[in-house]
Amino acid sequence: MDSMNPHVRVGVIGTGVIGKEHIRRLTHVTAGAEVVAVADVDPARARDAVAGLTGARVHADGLEVVRDDQVDAVVVASWGPTHEEYVLAGIDAGKPVFCEKPLAATQEACVRIIDAELAAGRRLVQVGFMRRYDAAYRALKDVLASGSIGLPLMMHCAHRNPSVSSHYTPDMALTDTAVHEFDVTRWLLDEEIVAINVLTPRPNRRGGELQDPLLILLETENGVLVDVETSVNIGYGYDIRHEVVGEDGTAELGAGSPVVLRRDGGATGPIPADWEERFSGAYEVEMQEWVHSVAAGASSGPTSWDGYAAAVLSDAGMESLRTGAKVAVKLRPKPDLYATRTP
């Protein structure tokens, strides 16, 4: 990277649904970035993802993207269990890594990533918890910080997907879906979650073998109670809800639609089809802030520590689902490297 004209050359590993979207954003939306290399275990997908990009190299393996000396920084958007290897390689090469959630498949893997950053002496990893960049979530956090509804007492959250692919396994309701609420709860309240209890209502007939929906109860260190519904076969659309109940009032994400149509005795407004539509603005801000931080040689955004905390919650949630009991959540001591939080 030329320090007089910072222009971040990005390599992308995993060119599936979100990998392709990140390539599109980095190419057409983000300022100061260029995708110069990609890889996917399915080489046809990798070639297809850079079909219109002159000069972008297609590597046979994700590790070759990390080692490519024309690559300044790496985006990891492959399947969750493959993240650890690429993130560790990025840290080893001293290159900033934007890793889609989950940071890694297990809390032990996240600890290995934290240990690698500690050994490197700097934060190189940003995790793709994009809700922290969503305008509505940022406004909700501002309301809490202003104190206008008093101390938060409870939160009610719903995370509804219209459907999921046949690759979606039962653990993913926690590791892939509720993981966003784990992170955004910690971020909004600025405190850790100390217990989790996963309840299983009557299953939705659309879910096949999946236990869907789930009702997850979280307890924070200051005694805030949070309920999270995950429904991944709700059919009608992608619906994200979040309400905070405070001592003096409540604050919730707005309905999201700028226009409500009233006709024929009814009132309607559109519901996003999927996460890309609902959070497109958030992904854009997230990617831009990451590129700015890479160009500045700084680190910002959700850290490996945040990825680790989410993984511990996912593991504890799985234990609760298995045993039917509430499970205490215990994090290892937080290293000083992660003391400052951004955004």
Ligand X SMILES: NC(=O)C1=CN([C@@H]2O[C@H](COP(=O)(O)OP(=O)(O)OC[C@H]3O[C@@H](n4cnc5c(N)ncnc54)[C@H](O)[C@@H]3O)[C@@H](O)[C@H]2O)C=CC1
Ligand Y SMILES: O=C1[C@@H](O)[C@H](O)[C@@H](O)[C@H](O)[C@H]1O
Q: By CB under 6 A, name the binding residues for ligand Y.
A: 161, 176-177, 180, 275
Integer angstrom CA distances of residue 238 from 135, 201, 235, 277? 17, 20, 8, 9
d(CA 191, CA 183): 11
Q: Quote the least distance from Cβ 19 to ligand X, whole Å.
A: 6
Reading the block at residue 333, the tokens are 């001591």
CA quadruple 299, 301, 307, 309: dihedral, nearest 10: 110
Q: Which stretch binds ligand X (CB under 6 A): 13-21, 147-155, 196-204, 309-317?
A: 13-21
Q: Quote the least distance from Cβ 263 to ligand X, whole Å.
A: 34
Of residues 179-198, those binding ligand X (CB under 6 A): none
Q: Which of 8, 10, 14, 75 binds ligand X (CB under 6 A)?
A: 14
Q: Which does 13 bind (CB under 5 to 8 A by kind): ligand Y, ligand X, none?
A: ligand X
Residue with the closest Cβ to ligand Y?
177
Question: Residue 1 in contact with residue 8, Cβ under 8 Å?
Answer: yes
Q: Which does 161 bind (CB under 5 to 8 A by kind): ligand X, ligand Y, none?
A: ligand Y
d(CA 27, CA 284): 11
Question: Residue 213 in contact with residue 229, Cβ under 8 Å?
Answer: yes
Query: Long-range contacts of range 136-141, CB-CB < 8 Å, 24 or more positions apart?
Result: 136/253, 136/254, 136/256, 137/184, 137/188, 137/242, 137/253, 137/282, 138/343, 140/188, 140/242, 140/244, 140/251, 140/252, 140/253, 141/187, 141/188
Q: Which of 68, 72, 176, 181 binds ligand X (CB under 6 A)?
A: 176
Q: Which does 185 bind (CB under 5 to 8 A by kind): ligand X, ligand Y, none?
A: none
Reading the block at residue 220, the tokens are 């924070």
Q: Which stretch binds ligand X (CB under 6 A): 12-20, 153-161, 307-315, 318-326?
A: 12-20
Letters for 236-265 (x = contact with ligand X by CB under 6 A, - = none) are ------------------------------
Give a three-class secondary structure readout of 125-160. EEECCHHHHCHHHHHHHHHHHHCCCCCEEEEEEEEE
Q: Quote the least distance from Cβ 187 to ligand Y, whole Å.
A: 15
**For ligand Y, the closer CB: 180 or 186:** 180
Q: Quote the least distance from Cβ 214 to ligand Y, whole Å.
A: 12
Q: Which does 77 bind (CB under 5 to 8 A by kind): ligand Y, ligand X, none?
A: ligand X
In a 3-state reduction of DSSP, which class is residue 220?
A: strand
Of residues 100-159, those binding ligand X (CB under 6 A): 100-101, 128, 130
In a 3-state reduction of DSSP, which class is residue 251?
A: strand
Q: Which residues contact 29 (CB under 8 A, 6 or more apart)?
A: 284, 287, 288
Q: Which does 17 bind (CB under 5 to 8 A by kind): ligand Y, ligand X, none?
A: ligand X
Integer angstrom CA distances of residue 326 from 7, 157, 218? 49, 19, 9
Q: Quote the least distance from Cβ 322 to ligand X, whole Å.
A: 22
Reading the block at residue 281, the tokens are 């603005």
Q: Which does 152 bind (CB under 5 to 8 A by kind): ligand Y, ligand X, none?
A: none
Residue with the closest Cβ to ligand X?
16
Q: Quote the least distance from Cβ 66 to ligand X, whole Å.
A: 11
CA atoms within 13 A on the CB side of 291: 24
Q: Which does 177 bind (CB under 5 to 8 A by kind): ligand X, ligand Y, none?
A: ligand Y
Q: Quote the least distance from Cβ 188 to ligand Y, whole Å.
A: 17
Q: Verify binding: residue 17, ligand X, rule CB under 6 A.
A: yes
Q: Verify binding: residue 45, ligand X, rule CB under 6 A.
A: yes
Q: List interacting residues with ligand X (CB under 6 A).
A: 13-19, 39-42, 45, 62, 77-80, 82, 100-101, 128, 130, 176, 275
